[in-house]
């Protein structure tokens, strides 16, 4: 009986997380197009048909429709369903790993904003200021919710990465976008200087590898750019989860 109730609770939590990320799919689509993501009914991007409630059930609607619009049969990217799936799993992970519900909520918000930023930057190569402000707000709340990271570590973290990136961008035009710089400042307030530096290191390694692949595959030229924000977001996420372990492992290589 207890196991059955627990399973039901986790299913509800999963559906709540997936529903939030279903809304974030709307944000990801509308914000770059300067559309209101709060008002107005959801519609098919291809035919403009207003969607019904049965068309917007997280993941299930995509599966039942075979990944196509029910009205015009245009293909719907699987990314929508994967984002919703990630949201559900993230919600469960936060609840399972944080006994403090406020901590779980803050971590869920942090990863949610990183997801939105990564996808929007990947689509448009821009990071809207509103998303950075959202991350900065969550970071400010984390000062109280996660007191183990000292305030001065957070303040230093805001400049430890963003300031060097700003200097590089001034010396080498186009090296980093303003959105990347502001993103790392907001992240530093959340992670503190040490984890933020680790996040940047991970982003440079993964982004550099991706850049080499693009050049080798001749998908990009030497002077062409690609979105670096997604790599920064992944670096922040990995650093938050395992940054301390990675730092200790790195030190053990030399001592």
Question: Within the chain, what is the greatest distance between any pair of CA atoms?
Answer: 65
**What digits encode the pLDDT tens for the residues 155-205?**
999 999 999 999 998 898 877 889 999 999 999 999 999 999 999 999 999
**What digits encode the pLDDT tens for the residues 207-225?**
989 988 888 887 777 667 7
The full 3-state SS of 153-199, as one line of letters, equals: HHHHHHHHCHHHHHHHHHHCCCCCCHHHHHHHHHHHHHHCHHHHHHH
pLDDT of the residue at 57: 86
Question: Taking 80 as the threshold, does the pLDDT of residue 41 lie above it?
Answer: no
pLDDT of the residue at 253: 75
Helix H or strand E encompassing 250: helix 229-252
Tell me the three state secondary structure of residue 50: strand
The answer to whether the predicted template modeling score (pTM) of the entire model surpasses 0.95 is no
Cα 44 to Cα 36, 50, 160: the distances in Å are 15, 7, 44
Q: pLDDT-derived band of residue 236, with 50, 70 and 90 as boundaries?
A: very high
Question: Taking 70 as the threshold, does the pLDDT of residue 2 lie above it?
Answer: no
**How far apart are the C-alpha atoms of 9 and 99, rounded to whole Å?**
15
């Amino acid at each position: 009986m207890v196991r059955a109730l627990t399973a039901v609770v986790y299913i509800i939590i999963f559906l709540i997380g997936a529903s939030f990320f279903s809304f974030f799919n709307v944000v990801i689509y509308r914000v770059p197009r300067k559309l209101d993501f709060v008002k107005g009914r959801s519609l098919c991007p291809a035919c403009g048909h207003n969607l019904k409630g049965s068309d917007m059930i997280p993941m299930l609607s995509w599966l039942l429709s075979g990944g196509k619009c029910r009205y015009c049969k245009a293909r719907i990217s699987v990314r929508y369903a994967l984002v919703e799936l990630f949201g559900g799993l993230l919600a469960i992970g936060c609840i399972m790993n944080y006994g403090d519900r406020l901590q779980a909520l803050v971590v869920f918000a942090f990863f949610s904003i990183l997801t939105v930023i990564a996808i929007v930057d990947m689509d448009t190569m821009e990071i809207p200021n509103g998303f950075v402000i959202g991350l900065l707000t969550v970071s400010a709340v984390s000062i109280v919710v996660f007191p183990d990271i000292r305030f001065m570590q957070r303040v230093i973290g805001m400049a430890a990465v963003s300031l060097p990136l700003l200097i590089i961008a001034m010396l080498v035009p186009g090296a980093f976008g303003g959105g990347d710089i502001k993103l790392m400042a907001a992240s530093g307030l959340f992670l503190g200087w040490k984890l933020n530096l680790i996040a940047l290191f991970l982003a440079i390694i993964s982004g550099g590898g991706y850049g080499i692949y693009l050049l080798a595959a001749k998908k990009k030229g030497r002077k062409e750019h690609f979105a670096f924000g997604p790599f920064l977001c992944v670096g922040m996420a990995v650093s938050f989860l395992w940054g301390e372990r990675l730092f200790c492992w790195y030190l053990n290589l030399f001592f």
